[in-house]
Amino acid sequence: MDDYYDLIIIGAGITGTALSYIASSYSAMAKILVIEKYGKVAPLNSDSTNNSQTLHFGDIETNYTLEEASHTKAAAERVIRYTSRLSAKERGKIISKVQKMVLGVGDAEAERLEKIYSPGMRKLFPGLKKIGKMELEKIEPNTIKGRDPSEKVSALLSDKGYMVNFGLLAKSFSERASKSGVKFIFNCPCTDVHPIEDGHEIITPKGSFKARFVIFASGTYSLYFAKYLGYDQNLSILSVGGGFYIAPRVLRGKVYRVQAGGIPFAAIHGDPDITNPRITRFGPTVSFPIALEVRKSGTAMDYLKTFDFDIPTMQSLFNIISNKDIRRIMRKNAVYPLPLIGKHLFLKNEVSKIVPTLTLDKIHLDKNVGGIRPQIIDENKRFLTTGASKIRGNNIMFNITPSPGATSSLQSAMDDIVYICSLLDIKLNESKMRAELGAMDYKHLKQKINGHKQI
């Protein structure tokens, strides 16, 4: 049958394209289709203008646990392995090494850094180095210039700094997948999906397509479709918007700030832009749009459909809002988009902590950039969940991908392909995948598959 596929992937962001690449390179799937709502690869959160362009390793992300750091490091290393196999020309556009650190300002943050720099952390990241004012002055001079000499500053300097154009990485995945026979259809939103005898049928304005397995790699929309089909009613999405202020190039590398523990979205940092070396971006700011896509108010109704207006979700929301660190972030960020006062306070509260000498006339809010992190509210936990979520159903899966979803794209695709091939009994060249992208321990995944319950 012409329109019957082994796998249909909905969404050509970095998650969907990574899976299309992995599935077509390492599995024996004969027919794979990717459909994308818009006219190109990575139009939304995976586009380089809409995210922070950081390959996260977990070494300077002070809100991660050691376990989260270890998983993130393994995921990031797959991206390094993939890009190391590209031509120097292609690689140079996608990824580039950059200095990276987390900066602690004041006694309390210095103490936090001290604690974070634990033996476990040093074992996981032997190249992570604690540095003080003098070294900072040499390697990132604008973090010290003009600073009150009595202010304590220290930093953890990483040897794993990379900036990545995730949009171009997604493009690279899709080009390789296309060459291996994956079909891409653009301007083709999935408007409906329903189970059929052997898989699912998806409906689009360009026709209906059937597959043995369907994956929603649809970013903020994955939970929308999961709920539509009756899966995971205990999750809701808190859309966390992230915008960026732009300044001239004042930093040599990425300077992150210390982040409160347990909060899934990162503190504002400053870093050079991979697409424009003459500027520094400061962000992401934090907003809570009632929408599933930024700058698209038409997605408000869909957002409300991903939300459970029941007592456990309301309790979760209450807990989120009651968290003093989140309240502080909300209070500060509420004013940043405002004209005049917003810029003034952003400079005072955020930018000057990183670059004390930067002045008001040198920064501006770029209203056309920034994306949405679909943070997951888990009714069972009555709070936010860190990282990505996968909802597995009957021959269908939904990937919800807040940060560091772009870093984890290959890891997520490898996990998914092992799962799908096991489930559908399709051959997978695991040894080639391991040799090219690194070892993986997916005994736990296979156990899960064996214990897979049809919902």
Ligand X SMILES: Cc1cc2nc3c(=O)[nH]c(=O)nc-3n(C[C@H](O)[C@H](O)[C@H](O)COP(=O)(O)OP(=O)(O)OC[C@H]3O[C@@H](n4cnc5c(N)ncnc54)[C@H](O)[C@@H]3O)c2cc1C
Instruction: Return residues touching ligand X (CB under 6 A).
Output: 10-16, 35-38, 42-46, 50-54, 56, 166, 189-190, 217-219, 221, 242, 284, 370-373, 401-407
Q: Measured from the CB atom, is 209 or 221 closer to ligand X? A: 221
Residue 295 or residue 382: which is nearer to ligand X going by CB? 295
Cα 46 versus chain centre, distance: 8
Smallest separation (angstroms) from ligand X to the CB of 385? 14
Q: How far apart are CA 421 and CA 427, in angstroms?
A: 6
Closer of 76 and 258 to ligand X (Cβ): 76
- Residue 175 Cβ, how far from ligand X at the closest point, in Å? 16
Strands (DSSP E) found in 11-132: 32-35, 95-97, 100-105, 129-131
Distance of CA 25 to the CA centre of its chain: 23
CB of 60 to ligand X, least distance (A): 12
As measured in angstroms, the least distance from the Cβ of 222 to ligand X is: 8
Minimum CB separation from ligand X for residue 52, in Å? 3
The nearer residue to ligand X, 272 or 404, going by C-beta atoms, is 404
How many Å apart are CA 390 and CA 376, to the nearest integer? 11
Nearby residues of 124 by Cβ (< 8 Å), 6 or more positions away: 58, 59, 66, 69, 70, 73
CB of 144 to ligand X, least distance (A): 25
Put residue 31 in one of left, alpha, beta given phi > 0 → left and psi -120 to 50 → alpha.
beta
Instruction: Between 153 and 406, name the residue whose CB sits nearer to ligand X.
Output: 406
- C-beta of 205 vs 339, nearer to ligand X: 205
Beta-carbon count within 10 A of 385 CB: 16
C-alpha separations of 114 from 111, 154, 156, 431 in Å: 5, 9, 9, 41
Nearest partner of 333 among 253, 237, 245, 402, judged by Cα: 245
The least CB distance from residue 20 to ligand X, in Å, is 11
Using the minimum distance from each CB to ligand X, give the nearer residue, 144 or 406: 406
- Report the C-alpha dihedral over residues 430, 434, 440, 443, rounded to 10 degrees: 20
Is the distance from CB of 211 to CB of 34 less than 8 angstroms? no
CB of 16 to ligand X, least distance (A): 6
Count Cα neighbours of 228 within 13 Å in the Cβ-side half-sphere: 19
Closer to ligand X by CB, 11 or 104: give it: 11
Number of residues that this document lists for the chain: 455
